[in-house]
Amino acid sequence: MVDKSLIDKIIVGERRAIARAISYIESDNNLTSEYLKELYSKVGNAYRIGITGPPGAGKSTITNQLTKIYRKQNKKVGIIAVDPTSPFTGGALLGDRVRMNDIGMDNGVFIRSMATRGSLGGLSKKAIDAADLLDAAGFDIIILETVGVGQSELDIAQAADTTIVVLVPESGDSVQAMKAGLMEIADLFVLNKCDRPGSQQAYTALQTILMIKEHDENTWLPKIIKAIAQENKGINEIADEIEKHKAFLIDKNLFQLKRQNQTKVRIKEIVEHKLKDELWSEEREHLLNSSLKNIFLGNSSPYHIAEKIIQQFFNKS
Amino acid sequence: MVDKSLIDKIIVGERRAIARAISYIESDNNLTSEYLKELYSKVGNAYRIGITGPPGAGKSTITNQLTKIYRKQNKKVGIIAVDPTSPFTGGALLGDRVRMNDIGMDNGVFIRSMATRGSLGGLSKKAIDAADLLDAAGFDIIILETVGVGQSELDIAQAADTTIVVLVPESGDSVQAMKAGLMEIADLFVLNKCDRPGSQQAYTALQTILMIKEHDENTWLPKIIKAIAQENKGINEIADEIEKHKAFLIDKNLFQLKRQNQTKVRIKEIVEHKLKDELWSEEREHLLNSSLKNIFLGNSSPYHIAEKIIQQFFNKS
């Protein structure tokens, strides 16, 4: 059952209540959607910034420095860091959070790191739920930070008003081809660690790629900002560019439209997620397992079994 | 309606019949699953090799050279090349196919390039359907080639008996972190273009990463093969290692188990794909669109709308 007093505490921004509600989201508690339903009328006032890029590009440092700028403007900042862990990258990413210590003690800042165990898709969904929660709790800026390793950066861009892609000079080769996905979601590129060798070539390469992107006066053309986040160089420019992008969206009547499209995609995902949950009940998992052997005996096919399962789903539901 | 004579022609390996059936698969023809159902009792004899890696790593060349080896052993080879096109990479990938000219004229080889327009997920599904078709048509070896840019390589690994990840010395940095996904699917690494600078460092880096991978006598430990595919160097070693991997799977009783698990995942995907199709009917798209405005008026939420849609789905189905 929904605890009304928790709702009230979240709305006034009580930190412990927020933390508890995010834990509900993380543990995939069935109550989550009930809480979010109650809170949703308060959602929509925060500006959402997505920050993505390869591991080690300096995303946390940029988040950190940007947060300080927003705090000087007296804005409350909520940070959701999505850490897709893998046997190969797990530890390092979580370690990044340590660097956040200097902003973590500030009462106008709320930081939550969400790590994945298993499916990444599910994690992004949870991160967006958490962002809604912080939005309802009165945070002015919400930063969604994620490592770009496949799907997560697309999910985050799908939830952000402005998406920042952070690259380093060494990502040059990836930039050209591998990260085509990143190219398409960026509203703003940050070429970080620009004191490293190869930064000018990387900058030129990025510019070349951007030039072939089709655009007209109603399309936002992403800018490339050179930065050395560790030394706080380029951060004001990033904050300015975010403001410009926001102004552009509002000026061209794209702001609400973008959010509407994002919400539409999100509802579809919620529906599909829920349906999938109902679909793979113990009963149907069992039907699947017991049907498998028929395939290897040569008297069935994946398509036959799929039909049987769908039939059973509709009859039972 | 299923054309029985087409089925008969596919089973005896008639090329035009195969090409036509793959076109059905590509166009998402509703008949596809009916054809595959009819053919499925003939599926399961081919050995499936997945080849993936970044663009320009030399996947096509390796496929080409491997095919020549199998042809000398008198094995029939079917090749499905999945080309995820993006505004940024599209053309180059398709151009690769030109290099296949020297094997393309061989009657014991069937090459089909499948390009994506839109969703990648759907494409992998189609590629696997096409592989089943070639399997039923009597091809001994099926090579599934795909660019590793996110999800597609995982899907291909999910359909292959042996998965080869091709890297080049320059992918060194990506290797360490970004491509954690690739690390986990590889049964065999090929470090191609080993005449380029940095190949020894890349080899060492790869080895270091592999060493931290947990394994015991029942786990296959991927080997790294150095190659210069353009000069046909390392190709025999690749073929040998594929044989070793196959023997290992059989010896440890993992071969059927692996295929069974893959089939299970595949059935789930077919079911979910089909359900999604039925879910997003015109009627429910309309319900979604017309409900959206209530969110922005502040008297609904994504979760409310999602529930309404699910309810409507079950009432109407």
Residue B92: what pLDDT? 39
Superfamily of domain A44-254 in the CATH hierarchy: P-loop containing nucleotide triphosphate hydrolases (3.40.50.300)
On whether the CB atoms of residues B112 and B130 are closer than 8 A, the answer is yes
Q: What is the pLDDT of chain B when averaged over all its residues?
A: 84
Left, alpha or beta for A212 (phi > 0: left; psi -120 to 50: alpha)? Answer: alpha
pLDDT in tens, B52-109: 887 778 898 999 999 999 999 999 999 998 865 543 343 334 444 555 566 767 889 9
Rounded Cα distance, A111 and A104, in Å: 7
Q: Write out chain A residues lying below 8 Å of B302, CB-based.
A: 36, 40, 263, 266-267, 270
For the beta carbon of residue B209, count every other beta carbon within 10 angstroms.
Answer: 19
B7 reaches A (C-beta below 8 A)? no
Q: Name residue B228's beta-bridge partners.
A: B233
Where are the domains positioned within chain B? Answer: 42-254, 280-316
pLDDT in tens, B152-166: 777 888 999 999 999
Inter-chain CB proximity B305 and A260 less than 8 Å: no
Rounded Cα distance, B102 and B64, in Å: 8
A258 reaches B (C-beta below 8 A)? no
- A232 phi and psi, to 5 degrees? 65, 20
Q: Which of B37, B178, B213 sits opposite A301 (nearest CB)?
A: B37
DSSP letter string over A216-268?
Answer: -TTSPPPEEEE-BGGGTBSHHHHHHHHHHHHHHHHHTT-HHHHHHHHHHHHHH
What are the average pLDDT values for consecutive 10-residue runs of chain A, which has 317 residues? 90 93 82 86 95 85 94 96 55 47 79 67 81 97 83 83 91 50 84 90 81 77 94 97 98 94 93 90 93 84 93 81
Burial (CB count within 10 angstroms: exposed 0-12, middle 13-18, buried 19+), residue B74: exposed
Complex-level ipTM: 0.83
Residue A87: what pLDDT? 37
Inter-chain CB proximity B292 and A264 less than 8 Å: yes
Encode burial over B38-64: b for 16+ CB neighbours within 10 A, e otherwise.
bbbebbeebbbbbbbbbbbbbbbbbbb
Under the banding of pLDDT at 50, 70 and 90, the label for residue B228 is very high
Burial (CB count within 10 angstroms: exposed 0-12, middle 13-18, buried 19+), residue A254: middle
Pairing type for strands A223-226 and A141-147 reads unpaired
Q: What is the pTM of this model?
A: 0.76
Rounded Cα distance, B100 and B235, in Å: 16
Inter-chain CB proximity A88 and B177 less than 8 Å: yes
Q: Which of B227, A242, B168, A1 is nearest to A250 (CA)?
A: A242
Q: Which of B12, B29, B13 is nearest to B110 (CA)?
A: B13
Inter-chain CB proximity B275 and A310 less than 8 Å: yes
pLDDT score of B33 more than 90: no
Q: Which residue of B has its CA nearest to A308?
A: B271
On whether the CB atoms of residues A132 and A43 are closer than 8 A, the answer is yes
Inter-chain CB proximity B309 and A33 less than 8 Å: no
Q: Which CATH class is domain B42-254?
A: alpha beta
Note the helical H segments in chain A. Answer: 4-11, 15-26, 32-39, 59-72, 90-96, 101-104, 120-136, 152-157, 172-176, 180-185, 199-211, 235-251, 255-279, 282-296, 302-316
Look up residue B220 and give its two tokens. 């296959």
On whether the CB atoms of residues B180 and B71 are closer than 8 A, the answer is no
Residue B282: what pLDDT? 92
Chain centroid to Cα B40, Å, comes to 19
Q: Which residue of A has its CA nearest to B179?
A: A149
Q: Which of B84, B226, B220 is nearest to B145 (CA)?
A: B84
B265 reaches A (C-beta below 8 A)? no
For the beta carbon of residue B206, count every other beta carbon within 10 angstroms.
Answer: 22
> What's B142's DSSP letter?
E
Residue A248: what pLDDT? 97
Residue A97: what pLDDT? 52
pLDDT in tens, B170-211: 765 545 444 456 777 899 999 999 999 888 888 887 887 777
Q: Write out chain A residues lying below 8 Å of B263, CB-based.
A: 292, 295, 302
Q: Which residue of B has its CA nearest to A150?
A: B150
Interface test with A, best of B275, B276, B286 (most A CBs within 10 A): B275
Q: How far is A226 from chain B (nearest CA, A)?
A: 21
Interface of B with A in 65-124 (CB under 8 A): 86-89, 92
Burial (CB count within 10 angstroms: exposed 0-12, middle 13-18, buried 19+), residue B3: middle
Return the ∠ at Cα A194 (arms to A191 and A200), rounded to 5°. 85
CB pairs under 8 A between A and B: 177
Dihedral (CA of B177, B182, B184, B189) sign: negative
pLDDT score of B317 more than 80: no
Inter-chain CB proximity A33 and B303 less than 8 Å: yes
